[in-house]
Amino acid sequence: MTMPAQPIHHHAHRRPQTTIATGTPAGRGVRPMAIWFVNQYAGSPIHGMEFRHYEIGRELAALGHTVVIISGSYSHLFSHQPKTTGTYSIEDVGGLTYCWVKVPAYARAISAQRVLNMLAFMARLYRLPVHRLPTPDVIVVSSPSLFPILPTERWAHRSRARLVFEVRDVWPLTLQELGGLSGRHPLVAFMGWFESRAYHVADAVVSVLPAARSHLEVHGMAPSKLSIIPNGVSPDALVEPSTPTPPQVRAATDRHAFNIGFVGTLGSANAIEALIGAAQLLHGEDVGFVIVGQGSEEAHLRARAGDLTNVTFVGPVAKGDVPATLRAFDVCYVGYHQSPLYRFGISPNKVFDYMAASRPIILAAAAANDPIRDAGCGLTVEPDDPAALAEAIRSLREVTPSERARLGAKGREYVERVHTYASLAAAYLPALEGPDR
């Protein structure tokens, strides 16, 4: 691939973004915009994770904006892959326009096939049928895939659209610190070029990671461009569940007097091995461990659990069944492995879903921020330490149900105050509008 030596300056007349967003009131009377979110792993309630752009898009649409989500036809996080016809398939999903770009499947999240998947997505963006979509006023390109910055930069130039780069995962650094690649690896150098270019050519940069600024600036971002907009919770999670507890979840929780649950992807990043290690230490203490989800590490985790009678894998549940599932647990778990990557902070969607369900939370992580401490809704322990995790579970089991309810209520209050997607979409508006609007 021939890479241009100089960036295309598509908005020389615009000043850079200068506001770190903390929330703005909805209904500001701004001119409606056509907003494109380019994230090849963007999902929906029909297809499964990821939900950030669906939820933010839905809130922006409620404010009168037109939202297009451009995503790939395959993701390891999808529970149902999109049905596509041809290279580009356009459909309405929940009132938002989705354009699915046909890409090859891959077996593992960190693999050569996934890199080919990313490159195929980028290549096919150059021939995207833009005439079938509303002309964008704003284009948001979201990591972890960095390659789309080149075609979207060209689109922004042609349509005089504002270009926003969103950092959800710090790639290629994630490949180094979680995937074990050397800083001299050709793939790291190749992706690093795209990363620096994105920070340079974007009119604004948004990150979900509260302590990422230093890394972004080192790699070329002007300090005035950054807005911190974390992940949040769906409005559906904040209402009383409309569905009963899924029977497989109810059967699992009925086996024990006290249950700790995990709901999410069974991947290496979620540190479920420590949860199984804690189950081994608590075997015979009438504590159940209920693991809800699917993913590439499922076979490994099932083998790790072996014949433990206090661990139950119940498979995935529909997104609409998650609130009722969470309310079946006494405590919820979220974990990360020990890694310097988390010096930039964390913003896990599942934590906010747990808070919305009014459940105490145990977080196993060493990160720049601690949402559990901020909310006062549970306990934080060191990562990869089953003994510390087991002790935290015992501590929450031994307190009264009313004390656990108090902890859960604090999490609920916190997420309603800080992490609703309505408030986060409003906080996104300054980055989308720019200083000239």
- Give tens-digit pLDDT for 150-166: 999 999 999 999 999 99
- Cβ atoms 427, 232 nearer than 8 A: no
Q: Check whether residue 273 and residue 393 sit in a common domain.
A: yes
Whole-prediction pTM value? Answer: 0.86
**CA neighbor of 158 nearest in space, from 35, 8, 15:** 8
The model's confidence at residue 172, banded by pLDDT at 50, 70 and 90, is confident
**Does residue 6 lie in a domain region?**
no
What domain count does the chain have?
Answer: 2
Say if residue 298 is in the same domain as residue 223: no
Once rounded to an integer, what is the mean pLDDT over residues 420-428? 95
pLDDT above 90 as % of the chain: 78
Q: Which residues contact 58 (CB under 8 A, 6 or more apart)?
A: 67, 94, 95, 96, 421
| 239 token code pair | 């209402």
Q: Are residues 85 and 168 in the same domain?
A: yes
Rg value, the chain, Cα: 22
If pLDDT is split at 50, 70 and 90, which confidence band does 285 have? very high
Is 328 inside any structural domain?
yes
- The answer to whether residues 251 and 131 belong to one domain is no
Q: Say if 14 falls within a structural domain.
A: no
The C-alpha atoms of residue 38 and residue 58 are separated, in whole angstroms, by 15
User: Do 327 and 210 share a domain, yes or no?
Assistant: no
Q: Is residue 79 part of a domain?
A: yes
Residue 109 lies in a domain: yes
Which CATH number covers residue 267? 3.40.50.2000
Strand segments, DSSP code E, in 84-217 are 88-93, 96-101, 138-142, 162-167, 204-207
Residue 174 located in a structural domain: yes
How buried is 331 (Cβ within 10 angstroms: 0-12 exposed, 13-18 middle, 19+ buried)?
Answer: buried
Co-location of 412 and 424 in the same domain: no
Do residues 312 and 243 both lie within one domain? yes
Let me know whether 139 and 283 are in one domain: no
**pLDDT tens, 381-402?**
999 999 999 999 999 999 999 9
- Tell me the C-alpha to C-alpha distance, in Å, between residue 299 and each of 74, 313, 351, 352, 380: 21, 11, 25, 27, 28
Is 21 part of any domain?
no
Q: How far apart are CA 378 and CA 381, in angstroms?
A: 10
Strand 66-72 and strand 34-38: pairing? parallel
47: pLDDT confidence band, cut at 50, 70 and 90? very high
Q: Which domain holds residue 294?
A: 236-418
**For the chain, how far is it from start to end, CA to CA, in angstroms?**
37
- pLDDT averaged over the chain? 90
